[in-house]
């Protein structure tokens, strides 16, 4: 298969379609109806394959008969490539023991013309640069069918140069990986501190012999062990602190009726922990009376009713950013009675009450939820009004500092990603290592691969009554097996790259 329309390459390089320099095959289709349970076999799924690593901590099993096992396993040195989702995401299987793989993955075995590690890094570059997108199918979930994978053009340097490129890439990328791991650790610590910074009950922790506020009377909820707060504070139920209401349920019939006003409304995606995402707010048609009832007012506390279990109750304070906005039925609105409690304090406490929501919420197959009746029973600590403004000011000062640190760390992560992309681009444009005129040109490698394939007998097609897949073509021996990872030095990348 020839490759046309690609950019000019350095001397000694050549373009090759992936299918001309590697054998590819898809894994076994999962078919629970035909499973006998007699041959449970661990297998790799799409989720197990990440860029440059394969996670085997969460393997499932499928039924694979012994005579079919070799067709559907990857061996040491094989490249495993994702067929769906983030197409092209890949890693090399480096363990001595083979492992089965499902049809959502490609097994790629390069010929003697192509270093496996070189191909692994090239697919990462092609993914980041958008070069794989034109080979994808599907609108919602992208797929990279086997035939389209085989058509992907690969810039092929001489084999010795491929290996030099990989050596430099792994040396430089190990430094970036080490720096990224350090910054990622710092971000985790900052996020933990952000969670603690808003826990205003921790600032008033009492000793065992100090008087504390009275505990709440039993209600239709499981409160657990609430923190001890000063005796001049008070525990109250959310329903006694605020008017809590649910939002509007979307009615498709009303959406086509121009007599109903169209108003912006907030969904679960808009209501995040400690902030509101308002870049994409949709609209809905509702009766005018309903729009008036649900219209948000500055100071309203928004709390999620459903979603993942850790998202129950999360939210933030509405500041009147969008006129006439309302909220959907999966978002509760808590409107505090008078000046009883600063809305920020209510939202911070609810965001930190994950354990209470976990115990009192309901879990369906895919989603968790909490009822209006239950959330009204949320215990809320209410400090004296004269203290509340000072508590809010103190917490906001902490948050400003921590958010600044988080922003700086995220900027470093972004810079590291840009450096990685620039490094990969330079490698596959021929600018990372010098060319050696003594290297055998890639065109010679392609001639050799073509001759070897022509000399091979065609693989026989075998069929079974229960399995319709064709037999796997005879694969060339893998080359360029990935070595053990190089220890990451604690130095910054020294070489400069155009971003």
Helix runs in 438-480, H state only: 442-455
Give the per-residue pLDDT at 482: 39
CA distance 451 to 435: 26
The alpha carbon of residue 76 and the mean position of all alpha carbons in its chain are separated, in whole angstroms, by 27
Contacts of residue 351, defined as CB under 8 A and 6 or more positions apart, other chains included, come to: 198, 273, 274, 313, 314, 315
Q: How far apart are CA 388 and CA 396, in angstroms?
A: 12
Q: Which residues pair with 306 in a beta bridge?
A: 369
Residue 215 has pLDDT above 70, yes or no: yes
How are beta strands 53-54 and 49-50 bridged, if at all?
antiparallel
- Comparing 29-43, 78-92, 211-225, 472-486, the range with the smallest average pLDDT is 472-486
User: Which two tokens mark 290?
Assistant: 């309903």
pLDDT score at 374: 95
CA angle 117, 118, 122 (to 5 degrees): 115
For range 230-247, the mean pLDDT = 96
**129-142 confidence digits (pLDDT tens):** 999 999 999 888 89
Of the listed ranges 37-51, 102-116, 385-399, 448-462, the least confidently predicted one is 448-462
Under 8 Å between Cβ of 413 and 184: yes
Is 418 in a helix, a strand, or coil? Answer: helix
The C-alpha atoms of residue 337 and residue 84 are separated, in whole angstroms, by 51
The pLDDT score that the predictor gives to residue 5 is 62
CA 8 to chain centre: 36
- Encode pLDDT of 415-442 as tens digits: 999 999 999 999 999 999 999 999 999 9
Band (pLDDT 50/70/90 cuts) for residue 493 is very low
Helix (H, G, I), strand (E, B) or coil at 266: strand
Residue whose pair of structure tokens reads 């403004």 in the numeric block: 389
Report CA 300 to chain centroid distance, whole Å: 31
**138 phi and psi, to 5 degrees?**
95, 145
pLDDT at 468 over 70: no
Q: Please give the span between the terminal C-alpha atoms of the chain, in angstroms, as a whole number.
A: 33
Distance (Å, whole) CA 453 – CA 10: 27
What's the confidence (pLDDT) of residue 462? Answer: 54
For residue 485, pLDDT over 70 is answered with no
Band of residue 258 on the pLDDT scale cut at 50, 70, 90:
confident
Please tell me the distance from the alpha carbon of residue 258 to that of residue 480, in angstroms, as a whole number: 66
pLDDT at 481 over 70: no
Choice among 30-34, 43-47, 297-301, 325-329 with the minimum mean pLDDT: 30-34
Per-residue pLDDT, 185: 96
| Rg from Cα positions in the chain | 30
- What is the set of domains in the chain, with CATH numbers? 14-177+423-455 (3.90.220.20), 202-382 (3.90.220.20)
User: Is residue 489 pLDDT above 60, yes or no?
Assistant: no
* pLDDT at site 232: 95
Residue length of the chain: 499
What pLDDT, on the 0 to 100 scale, is given for residue 92? Answer: 98
Q: What's the mean per-residue pLDDT of the chain? A: 89
Q: Is the pLDDT of residue 307 over 90?
A: no
316 strand-pairing partners: 302
Question: Which pLDDT score is estimated for 477?
Answer: 39
Instruction: Check whether 31 has a pLDDT greater than 80.
Output: no
More confident residue, 345 or 2: 345
CA–chain centroid gap for 400, Å, is 27
Bridge partners, residue 212, by sequence: 230
The pLDDT value recorded for residue 483 is 40
Asked if pLDDT for residue 471 goes beyond 80, the answer is: no
**Strands 301-304, 315-317: parallel, antiparallel or unpaired by DSSP?**
antiparallel
The answer, yes or no, to whether residue 465 has pLDDT greater than 60, is: no
In Å, how far are 276, 414, 417, 418 from 411, measured between CA atoms? 22, 5, 10, 11
- Is residue 150's pLDDT more than 50? yes
pLDDT tens across 383-415, in order? 999 999 999 999 999 999 999 999 999 999 999
Q: What is the percentage of the chain residues whose pLDDT exceeds 90?
A: 75
For residue 227, with 0-12 CB atoms within 10 Å meaning exposed, 13-18 middle and 19 or more buried, which class applies? middle
């Amino acid at each position: 298969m020839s490759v046309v329309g690609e950019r000019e390459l350095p001397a000694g390089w050549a373009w090759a379609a992936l299918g001309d320099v590697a054998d590819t095959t898809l894994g076994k289709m999962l078919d629970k109806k035909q499973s006998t349970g007699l041959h449970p076999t661990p297998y790799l799924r799409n989720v197990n394959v990440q860029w440059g690593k394969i996670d085997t901590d969460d393997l499932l099993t499928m039924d694979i008969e012994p005579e079919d096992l070799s067709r559907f396993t990857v061996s040491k040195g094989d490249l495993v490539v994702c067929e769906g989702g983030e197409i092209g995401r890949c890693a090399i299987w480096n363990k001595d023991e083979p492992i089965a793989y499902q049809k959502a993955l490609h097994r790629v075995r390069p010929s003697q013309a192509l270093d496996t590690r070189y191909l692994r890094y090239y697919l990462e570059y092609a993914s980041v640069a958008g070069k794989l997108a034109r080979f994808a199918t599907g609108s919602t979930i992208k797929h990279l069918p086997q035939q389209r994978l085989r058509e992907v053009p690969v810039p092929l340097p001489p084999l010795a140069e491929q290996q030099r490129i990989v050596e430099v890439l792994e040396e430089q990328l190990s430094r970036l990986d080490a720096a990224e791991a350090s910054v990622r650790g710092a971000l985790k610590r900052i996020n933990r501190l952000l969670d603690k910074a808003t826990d205003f009950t921790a600032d008033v922790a009492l000793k065992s012999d100090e008087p504390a506020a009275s505990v709440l009377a039993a209600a239709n909820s499981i409160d657990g062990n609430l923190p001890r707060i000063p005796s001049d504070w008070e525990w109250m139920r959310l329903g006694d602190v605020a008017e809590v209401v649910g939002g509007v349920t979307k009615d498709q019939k009303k959406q086509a009726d121009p007599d109903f006003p169209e108003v912006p409304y907030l969904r679960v995606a808009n209501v995040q922990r400690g902030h509101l995402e308002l870049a994409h707010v949709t609209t809905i048609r509702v009766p005018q009376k309903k729009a008036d009832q649900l219209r948000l007012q500055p100071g309203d506390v928004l709390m999620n009713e459903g979603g993942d279990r850790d998202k129950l109750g999360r939210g933030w304070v509405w500041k009147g950013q969008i006129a006439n906005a309302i909220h959907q039925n999966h978002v509760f609105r808590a409107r505090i009675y008078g000046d009883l409690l600063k809305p920020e304090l209510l939202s911070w406490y609810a965001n930190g009450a994950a354990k209470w929501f976990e115990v009192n919420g309901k879990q369906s197959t895919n989603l968790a939820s909490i009822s209006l009746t239950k959330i009204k029973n949320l215990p809320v600590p209410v400090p004296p009004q004269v203290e509340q403004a000072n508590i809010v000011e103190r917490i906001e000062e902490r948050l400003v500092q921590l958010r600044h640190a988080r922003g700086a760390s995220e900027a470093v992560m972004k810079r590291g990603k840009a450096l990685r992309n620039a490094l990969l681009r330079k490698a596959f444009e021929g600018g990372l290592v010098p060319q050696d005129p003594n290297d055998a040109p890639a065109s010679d490698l392609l001639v050799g691969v073509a001759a070897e394939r022509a000399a091979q007998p065609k693989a026989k097609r075998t069929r079974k009554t229960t399995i319709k897949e064709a037999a796997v073509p005879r694969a060339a021996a893998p080359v360029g097996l990935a070595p053990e990872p190089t220890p990451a030095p604690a130095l910054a990348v020294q070489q400069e790259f155009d971003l």
